[in-house]
Structure 1
Amino acid sequence: MTKQLKLSEIVPDHLFGKRLDQVLAEMFPDYSRSRIKEWILADAVQVDGVLHNKPREKVLGGEQIDILAEIPDEVRFEAEPIELNIVFEDEHIMVINKPAGLVVHPGAGNADGTLLNALLHHCPSIAEVPRAGIVHRLDKDTTGLMVIAKTIPAQTHLVEAMQAREITREYEAVCHGSMTGGGTIDEPIGRHATKRTHMAVTQSGKPATTHFRVMEKYRAHTRLRLRLETGRTHQIRVHMTFANHPLVGDPVYAGRPRPPRKADEHLLTVLRGFKRQALHAVMLRLAHPITLEILEWHAPLPDDMVQLNAALRADTVEHGLDYV
């Protein structure tokens, strides 16, 4: 279903000589530049009563802009009183520390009980923002920091910042294998050729870049700090699997459990009981979409990852090895 949108404004004189798409983005900040460009190309924009479908056309100032466009109706979801761990909130944005097991957006098999349902309950006005203000996602069982837009202008700016790689996201992870040093994985990611719910490194995929460094080296595992340049689905999980160091507990990409030789019963119990990918969004840094102030948040490791690291550390010491 779609609804019709009508917008009318006079081009301010100070926009003299600018491109039509730039002018409309400044005049109508509630809408993304990509959506505005789509309207221009779809013959939805009139300048002084004449259709204009070339985004690069220049304006003089004083023209009458009329936009008559079709936009999709947002699917309405129910608000649910689900507790949120809110790290920061003002009238424009919210930063949360997402727990394991919380799906971000309703989908097949998850019609309710999601972060989106929780946001609608916490902030009812967010229903007017596309996708309830969700501008990036974490997998169901990945924990840590996410930013939410509470208004359309905030969402527009955050999406553009994400696309321009101006938002810094860092993660902690525990992977299989003892790694000797950090590096960068720069490999495209797309849908798996045969497993349609899986992602994979594939030359037909979209560019994806993950930087990583070693935080601790255990006997048969490594604790990592990772930074994303791009935000592809399952990016860290796929890249680390591609590097032959899948994440501990990853139910999709890690394969069968691989405990180290001569592991004691405590470590075996911890590893067998770790049923999610050992991945946590530990740091988020961005320019506030309205005030432009640079803000940074940190989220401590969840208890299960603290216990996992402690067990791996103890195993390393027990076998007479130094951990770094």
Structure 2
Amino acid sequence: MTKQIKLAEIVPDHLFGKRLDQVLAEMFPDYSRSRIKEWILADWVQINGQLCNTPREKLLGGESVLIQAELPDDERFEAEPIELNIVYEDEHIMVINKPAGLVVHPGAGNADGTLLNALLHHCPSIAEVPRAGIVHRLDKDTTGLMVIAKTIPAQTHLVEAMQEREITREYEAICHGTMTAGGTVDEPIGRHPTKRTHMAVTSSGRPAVTHYRVMEKFRAHTRLRLRLETGRTHQIRVHMTYINYPLVGDPVYAGRPRPPRKADEALLTVLRGFKRQALHAAMLRLAHPITSEILEWHAPIPDDMVQLTLALREDTEIHGLDFA
């Protein structure tokens, strides 16, 4: 299903000499630049009564613009009273601390009980925003900070900020193996060639950059701080596996558990019981999409990762770093 929209304006004189796609993006900020470009290429834009399908065409100012476009109707999902841990909220955006186990968006096998359903209950007007304002995602069992747009203008600005790498996201993780130093993984990520639900480093993938530094070393594990430049599906999990430091508990990419030699039963119990990837979105920094104020939030490390860290630290204190 689609809905029709009609936009009519006169090009302001101060936009003299700018390209059509730039002019329309400035005139109609409620819509993303990529969507406006799609409209131009689809012959849905008229300038002075004539179809114009060339995004790079220069305008002089004073032209009449008419856009008659179609927008896909978002599938309607049910609002559900699911508790949210809201870190910040104003009339434009919301920042939440997502728990493990909460799926972000309905999909195959998860028709309800998702973050999207919770957002519709908490803020019914968000139903008018594409994807209920969800700008970026966290995997089901990754915890931590996410920003949500409550209005279309806020979403448009946040999506563009994400694309321009103007939003800073830092994570904490615990991986298998003892790293000697931090570094950067700059490898493209795409669908796995044979396992269609998995991602992988592949030459045909999209650019992906992950920076990481060592926070604490254990006998056979490392606690990391990571920063994303890009936001590919499973990016940290795939990149850490690629350099042979998969995340503890990752059911997809880590393979079988690898406890240190002669680990006591307490540590083995914690490692066996850790059934999700040890990954937490700990810090989020961005310019507010409406006021441009720089805002920053921090989410405490969840209890299961704290207990895992304590168990690994105790094991290291008993045996020493050199005893692998």
- Fold shared by both chains (TM-score > 0.5): yes
Q: Which residue of 2 aligns with 1:280?
A: 280
Q: Tell me if structure 2 keeps the 8 A contact 1:170–1:283.
A: yes
- Aligned alpha-carbon RMSD (Å): 1.1
Distance 2:58 2:237 in 1: 46
Distance 1:46 1:52 in 2: 6
Q: Tell me if structure 1 keeps the 8 A contact 2:96–2:146.
A: yes
Distance 1:37 1:107 in 2: 28
SS at match of 2:315: helix
SS at match of 1:286: strand
**Which residue identity is paired with 2:16?**
F
Q: Which residue of 2 aligns with 1:88?
A: 88
SS at match of 1:144: strand
**Which residue identity is paired with 2:315?**
D
Distance 1:47 1:32 in 2: 20
Mapping for residues 106-185 of structure 1, pairs under 5 Å: 106-185=106-185
Distance 1:48 1:207 in 2: 40
Distance 2:18 2:44 in 1: 19
Mapping for residues 95-106 of structure 1, pairs under 5 Å: 95-106=95-106
**Which residue identity is paired with 2:170?**
E
Q: Does 1:198 align with 2:198?
A: yes
Mapping for residues 199-214 of structure 1, pairs under 5 Å: 199-214=199-214
**Which residue identity is paired with 2:43?**
D
**Which residue identity is paired with 2:41?**
L
Q: Tell me if structure 2 keeps the 8 A contact 1:79–1:117.
A: yes
1:261-299 residue CA offsets vs partner (Å, 9 max, x unmatched): 101111011000000000000000111001011111000
Q: Which residue of 2 aligns with 1:317?
A: 317
**Which residue identity is paired with 1:12?**
P
Q: Which residue of 2 aligns with 1:186?
A: 186
Give me the TM-score of the superposition, normalised by structure 1: 0.98
Distance 1:5 1:290 in 2: 24
Q: Tell me if structure 1 keeps the 8 A contact 2:18–2:59.
A: yes
**Which residue identity is paired with 1:152?**
I
After TM superposition, give the deviation of residue 4 of structure 1 in Å.
1.7
> What is the aligned length?
323
1:30-77 residue CA offsets vs partner (Å, 9 max, x unmatched): 100011011111111001101111111122222111001122111010
**Which residue identity is paired with 1:35?**
R
Distance 2:269 2:142 in 1: 21
Q: Which residue of 2 aligns with 1:253?
A: 253
Structure 1 unaligned runs (5+)? none
Q: Tell me if structure 1 keeps the 8 A contact 2:219–2:320.
A: no
Structure 2 unaligned runs (5+)? none
After TM superposition, give the deviation of residue 322 of structure 1 in Å.
8.4
The runs of 4+ residues in structure 1 deviating greater than 6 Å are none
Give me the TM-score of the superposition, normalised by structure 2: 0.98
Q: Which residue of 2 aligns with 1:239?
A: 239
After TM superposition, give the deviation of residue 321 of structure 1 in Å.
3.7
Distance 2:3 2:119 in 1: 24
Q: Which moved more, 1:34-43 or 1:271-280?
A: 34-43
Distance 1:48 1:321 in 2: 73
Q: Which residue of 2 aligns with 1:5?
A: 5
Q: Which residue of 2 aligns with 1:66?
A: 66
Q: Tell me if structure 2 keeps the 8 A contact 1:103–1:139.
A: yes
Distance 1:201 1:58 in 2: 40
**Which residue identity is paired with 2:234?**
H
Q: Does 1:26 align with 2:42?
A: no
**Which residue identity is paired with 1:264?**
D
After TM superposition, give the deviation of residue 78 of structure 1 in Å.
0.3
Q: Tell me if structure 2 keeps the 8 A contact 1:316–1:322.
A: no
**Which residue identity is paired with 1:260?**
P
Distance 2:3 2:156 in 1: 20
